[in-house]
Chain A
């Protein structure tokens, strides 16, 4: 792969898209599994976001579901308020939700990102609980949000094409960011924050960039989620939900894009697959089986499934080939 421009890698991605789209067209993949597939990509985008924060920059965040929720509710509200439908408006609203999530992340991060990573964990945990309470009660201010009854009547605008497109975009942006001096600055903070400072890296700035970027990804994924399931409930953005992307990132391997994507897709399909395989009376045991699997994986591969390695198209050019 000598100096092959990265754009060329988009061609196989396009072929994969055509293949899946064909399977959907000829009903090999039924609408239920299509929805699962779309959801798995949404989970991938959100988890890639947490990978920037935790996997690459080493900042422990427990509030990812809150930023996912901010993106979901704000984009859905905007779409309903605007009452215009169309893919362009939809994409703009998705970005609006993501930008809002990023903005909130910036404000939350401002006082705490000067400190060590543990403080961010506690602060984001508290923030997650605050967002959940706010979502439960905001219907008093904005009746459309539905409060604890949930928000319904969101148009179903998320399609496989849009989800796929955003997943590719999220991967390309992250890849190009990570393999630049800015990305290396983030990684150096994870490796040794003090050494990073003495190498001239503004660690507060890069922690903020990573946190905002990661929450932007979460907000974007949230918007796609809202218009896929067309119903939002505050319990979907509970702080406990923040553990899903965390598990995925750790399972896939910290600081591995390939690992995060494979773990996100595997995780979603495993949960749904068990729903089909298990008889109804033991369906609740899903949440026992999955953690047991997790423990086994962590015992056998503590560095995560991919342990920092990447698929060829996500690697930086090997220096010796440069």
Chain B
């Protein structure tokens, strides 16, 4: 059974068709890419999956569960976490707290326990801090933990956002342009990290990307969007030679 199942998804903003008739299947353990020119509706698809937007029509199912009935935070608790195209960290908080906030769904103590500093609170809090540190270690940020998130260099902010998303303990990870603004060597490291994390955390990943090396290098399957619709689907090789894709990216005359 498919992990994520999208059928006939549409989103209209007044007259604008941001996404129309988007149908898509994602299997457990896949690493798929979503590409397309600017304004094609890729991020809108992410916003629909994560419940930030309400679709105009269509259905989204995750593990067979209807996501349209759920609020954004419930969808995250079901096991879908994401990053944002324009990085949305908790800017004024420490790197460690950014990660610890995402553990919120796994907190077992109540407010009374926290107020009284009960032993179970202290134990759980120590565990969470330890887990957060481990995550930061994986993302090569261990000595940044007390620093304020907005003070990090750009590339490290991107890595922190992925670490934070993983703290929410997802089965499906949605990455919105993880390599944006990175130089080629950083991109290479990122690709290795994505593949490693996928295996390590047993994840299914869907990523939006503009940098073709990333898409071609690590995605097993690519879906191409233009003007809110899917125009092609296939392996990276097939996509590269698809005339409709070349047309969407480069214009008609060159074809």
Contacts and interface: CB of A to CB of B under 8 A. Distances in A.
Interface of A: 6, 173, 176-177, 180-185, 187-188, 191-192, 194-203, 209, 308, 318-320, 322
Interface in B189-237: none
Contacts, number: 104
Contact of B76 (A182, A198, A209, A320): A198
B146 A319 contact: yes
A11 B14 CA distance: 63
Interface stretch (B27-35, B120-128, B180-188, B239-247): B120-128
B121 to A, nearest CB: 7
B73 A201 contact: yes
17 contacts: A176-B114, A180-B125, A181-B103, A181-B114, A183-B114, A184-B97, A192-B90, A199-B101, A199-B104, A200-B76, A200-B168, A201-B101, A202-B73, A209-B111, A308-B92, A319-B146, A322-B126
Contacts of B43: none
B101 A184 contact: yes
A195 B94 CA distance: 15
Given A195-B88, A199-B101, A181 B146 contact: no
Interface residues of B, number: 43
B109 interface: yes
A194 B52 contact: yes
Interface of B: 50-52, 71-73, 76-77, 81-82, 84, 88-94, 96-97, 100-105, 107, 109, 111, 114-117, 121, 125-126, 128-129, 145-146, 164, 167-168
Dominant secondary structure at the A interface: helix
Nearest to B169: A200
A199 B102 contact: yes
A197 B109 CA distance: 20
Given A176-B114, A322-B126, A200 B105 contact: yes
Contacts of A188: 90, 93, 101
A1 to B, nearest CB: 15
B114 A177 contact: yes
Most chain A beta carbons < 10 A, residue from B72, B76, B126: B72
Contacts of A199: 73, 76, 81, 101-102, 104, 164, 167-168
CB-based closest 8 A-B pairs: A180-B114, A200-B76, A191-B90, A195-B88, A197-B72, A200-B105, A181-B107, A199-B102
